[in-house]
Amino acid sequence: MAFDKSEVAAALDDNVEVIRSYLEDDGYFVERYQDAFRRLPKMGDASDLRSDLSSSSYPGALPTDRFDSADSLVIHHEASDSWDSHEAVNDWARDLLMDVPMLAVDGSEIPPTKQFNIPLAYVQAAWCLNHHSPEGRLERGREGRLLDPMDVTRSGGEDGDDEYRFVDSSLVGLERYEHEANLLIDKIEYLAERHGGGAFERKPVVLYDGPLVASFANPRRPEIRNRYLSAISELIAASQHHRIPLVGYIAGTNAIELSKMTRLLLQDELGADRTIPDARVLSGMMSPWGDSTVPFLCRRDGSVDALTATYRGEEYDFSHEIHFSYLKVPPGEGLDRLEFPGWLLDTDGPSGYESLYEYVLDVIRAEAGVGRGYPEVLQQADTDAVLDQRDRQQFLRLLQKWAETNDVPLEWDAKALSKELRRR
């Protein structure tokens, strides 16, 4: 049966008061948190607030020393005050990005084949390096990996033996995650070599489409969680080792670290309130284009403490090294979240920038401006990486042809074949 639009519309009408009430209540809490956010800089310096939060292992966030020189959590982007069109944004961004190498990686996957009597899957990662040169130099590539039955299945035996194995589709997402991280590490090493050899005059910047704090892995089985955390930890270590800036870019974030921190600091006042997403609170405190926040240290949960790695024989511990800030780039009222290692704050920036962090923030702001709200280099990587339904059909046909050529007894599953025939 087809999707019943009238049934859904009727259900929405039946619940209109509940939905309206939720939004109205949300607005009340947003105003309370906005007032609290405005008062934070007057409550003490970063050291004082960190001391007040010391009884909590995971207070959400901790102020950095940047907090001491700020009279507001929001840093206004003054350059945008005179803009009255997107052409003005492009002109500013074009000048700022000139000759800045910017790299992004994104991935996609074909899930385990259920149509055949053997489960196979495929993951692919695409990379894009925009040199932002006057001649428009753009390097792009794709790297894929076939996942065999042992990659996409796990033991179902009580004793952990391989007598019975079943397909675990979540393993494909893990393999894709590791594949993307490994490709990024390769490209960071490449950028470091080129920059060190003088091929790049300006510091390269690497964008990762996702968080550096992998809280999403917490509900996974311990061995799977550890693989996720190991992959992202090694990537962060490669960035620090080679001094190539890495930023995790999260569009439309619902993180609550600042609200949680503020609620703990003002327990008597906000303790009974529900926690509101940071972006929901901050958006109304920002001007229409380019504002950001003071950087904070992320202390979300145990996944932060697990960020440790060994890279090229050197031990790294990032449990107190991952920072974040928020950025507002239209269209829309939502904010984007930037996650980055602390060494960016501690490293001198090029001329005109207090630190490497300010330089990276400006570059990302410009790239998002060119992309009309989302970094253009990430858009290109996403476009190159995506595997659509046509690709999946070609993958199945290729498997069939390969099996016939190599006398592999590949057989269609009867139920899957029936679905295929009915949906054509």
Reported as a single tens digit per residue, the pLDDT across 40-74 is 999 999 999 999 999 999 999 999 999 999 999 99
pLDDT at 422 over 50: no
In a domain, residue 423? The reply is no
User: What are the pLDDT digits (tens) for 316-340?
Assistant: 999 999 999 999 998 867 899 999 9
User: Across 9-13, 79-83, 295-299, which has the greatest mean pLDDT?
Assistant: 295-299
Q: Which two tokens stand for residue 297?
A: 């240290």
- Do 158 and 95 form a contact (C-beta atoms < 8 A)? no
In a domain, residue 411? The reply is no
What share of the chain has pLDDT > 70, as a percent?
92
In a domain, residue 270? The reply is yes
User: What are the pLDDT digits (tens) for 334-381?
Assistant: 899 999 999 999 999 999 999 999 999 999 999 999 999 999 999 999
Give SS3 for 44: coil
Could you tell me which of 244, 131, 240 has the C-alpha nearest to residue 196?
244
Whole-model pTM: value is 0.91
CA distance 144 to 110: 11
Q: How many domains does the chain have?
A: 1
According to DSSP, residue 148 is labeled -
CA distance 100 to 376: 14
In a domain, residue 417? The reply is no
In a domain, residue 135? The reply is yes
Q: Which two tokens stand for residue 111?
A: 């899930």
In a domain, residue 421? The reply is no
Domain that holds residue 292: 5-387
In a domain, residue 398? The reply is no
User: What are the pLDDT digits (tens) for 190-229?
Assistant: 999 999 999 999 999 999 999 999 999 999 999 999 999 9
Tally helices (H) and strands (E) across the chain: 16, 15
In a domain, residue 408? The reply is no
Spatial neighbors of 273 by CB under 8 A, at least 6 apart, are: 29, 32, 33, 263
What pLDDT does 161 receive?
59
HSE, side-chain direction, 13 A CA sphere, residue 208? 30
What pLDDT does 162 receive?
60
For residue 418, give Cα distances in angstroms to 178, 230, 409, 424.
35, 41, 20, 10
Residue 388, burial from CB neighbour count under 10 angstroms (0-12, 13-18, 19+)? exposed
